[in-house]
Amino acid sequence: MAQQLAIETRGLTKRFGDQKAVNSISLEVPSGSVFGFLGPNGSGKTTTIRMLLGLAEATEGEIKLLGTEIPKDLEKALPRVGALVEGPAFYPFMSGRNNLLRIDAADRFSDASTRIQRVEAALDRVGLHNAGNKKVHAYSLGMKQRLGLANALLKPRDILVLDEPTNGLDPQGTREVRNLIRSLSAEGITIFLSSHLLSEIEMLCSHVAVMSAGKIIAQGLIEDLRNEEPTRLILKTDDIDAAVETLKANGIGKAKILGDQITCEVDPALDVASLNAKLVSKKVSVKEIRLQRSSLEEKYVKLTGEGFEVVR
Amino acid sequence: MFAKALGIRLFLSELKVMFTRRRTWAMLAAIALIPILLAVAVALSSARLAPGEGPPFLVEVTQNGLFTGFTAMMLAMPLFLPLTVSVVAGDTIAGEAGLGTLRYLLISPVGRVRLLVMKYLASLVFILAGTFTLMIVGAAIGAILFPVGPVTLLSGFTISIFEAFGRMALVALYTTVSLSGMAAVGLFISTLTTVPVGAMTATLVTSGVSNILGSIPQLEWMHAWLFTYYWPYFADLLRAPIEWGSMLNNIVLQLGWIAVFGALAYGRFTTKDILS
Ligand SMILES: Nc1ncnc2c1ncn2[C@@H]1O[C@H](COP(=O)(O)OP(=O)(O)O)[C@@H](O)[C@H]1O
Ligand SMILES: [Mg+2]
pLDDT, tens digit (0-9, with 9 covering 90-100), for A84-104: 999 999 999 999 999 999 999
> Does residue A309 lie in a domain region?
no
pLDDT tens digits, A219-260: 999 988 877 778 888 999 998 888 888 888 888 888 888 889
Total structural domains in chain B?
A: 1
Task: State the CATH number of the domain containing residue A275.
Answer: 3.30.70.980
Task: State the CATH number of the domain containing residue A168.
Answer: 3.40.50.300
> Does residue A266 lie in a domain region?
yes
> Is the pLDDT score of B1 beyond 90?
no
> Is the pLDDT score of A1 beyond 50?
no
> Does residue A220 lie in a domain region?
yes
- Which run of H or of E encompasses A222? helix A222-227
Which residue is closest to A108 within chain B, CA to CA?
B110
Task: Using pLDDT thresholds of 50, 70 and 90, give the confidence band for residue B52.
Answer: low
Amino acid B214: pLDDT: 95
> Does residue A312 lie in a domain region?
no
Amino acid A14: pLDDT: 97
Beta carbons of B22 and A108 less than 8 Å apart: no
The ligand minimizing its distance to the Cα of A45 is 1
Range of the domain at A64: 5-224
> Does residue B276 lie in a domain region?
no
pLDDT tens digits, A170-226: 898 899 899 999 999 999 999 999 999 998 999 999 999 999 999 999 999 998 887
Distance A20 CA to ligand 1 centre (A): 9
Round to whole Å and give the CA distance between B115 and A249: 74
Task: Using pLDDT thresholds of 50, 70 and 90, give the confidence band for residue B144.
Answer: very high
Amino acid B230: pLDDT: 94
Do A39 and A187 belong to one domain?
yes
Last residue of a domain, one of A165, A194, A224: A224
Last residue of a domain, one of A224, A250, A276: A224
Mutate to test the pocket of ligand 1, among A41, A46, A217 (most ligand atoms within 8 A of CB): A46
Q: Is the CB of A41 under 6 A from ligand 1?
A: yes
- pTM of the complete model: 0.89
Do A237 and A220 belong to one domain?
no
Q: Which residues of A touch B107 (CB under 8 A)?
A: 53-55, 78, 81, 83, 85
Partner-chain residue, chosen from B16, B22, B108, that has the shortest CB–CB distance to A103? B108
Percent of chain B with pLDDT over 90: 76
Do A264 and A180 belong to one domain?
no
> Is the pLDDT score of B263 beyond 80?
yes
Q: Give this complex's ipTM.
A: 0.91
Which ligand 1 atom sits closest to the C-alpha of A312?
25
Do A163 and A289 belong to one domain?
no
Amino acid B154: pLDDT: 72
Do A104 and A193 belong to one domain?
yes
Q: Is the CB of A42 under 6 A from ligand 1?
A: yes
> Does residue A69 lie in a domain region?
yes
Beta carbons of B110 and A106 less than 8 Å apart: yes
Do A194 and A108 belong to one domain?
yes
pLDDT tens digits, B58-107: 667 777 888 899 999 999 999 999 999 999 999 999 999 999 999 999 99
Amino acid A310: pLDDT: 55
Amino acid A43: pLDDT: 94
Round to whole Å and give the CA distance between A237 and A285: 6
Beta carbons of A55 and B103 less than 8 Å apart: yes
> Does residue A308 lie in a domain region?
no
Mean pLDDT (chain A, rounded): 91
Among A19, A46, A55, the strongest candidate for a mutation testing the B interface, having the largest count of B CBs within 10 A, is A55
Bridge partners, residue A159, by sequence: A81, A190
Do A87 and A207 belong to one domain?
yes
Amino acid A307: pLDDT: 57
pLDDT tens digits, B8-40: 999 999 999 999 999 999 999 999 999 999 999
> Does residue A298 lie in a domain region?
no
Beta carbons of B107 and A93 less than 8 Å apart: no
Amino acid B262: pLDDT: 98
The beta strand positions in chain A, using DSSP E, are 5-16, 19-25, 28-30, 34-38, 60-65, 68-70, 81-84, 159-163, 190-195, 207-212, 215-221, 231-237, 256-258, 261-266, 286-292
Q: How many CB pairs under 8 A join A and B?
A: 92
Do A269 and A213 belong to one domain?
no
Do A246 and A138 belong to one domain?
no
Q: Tell me which residues have their CB within 5 A of the ion that is ligand 2.
A: A 46
Amino acid B129: pLDDT: 98
pLDDT tens digits, B209-247: 999 999 999 999 999 999 999 999 998 898 878 889 999
Do A81 and A116 belong to one domain?
yes
Amino acid A2: pLDDT: 53
Total structural domains in chain A?
A: 2
Range of the domain at B239: 2-271
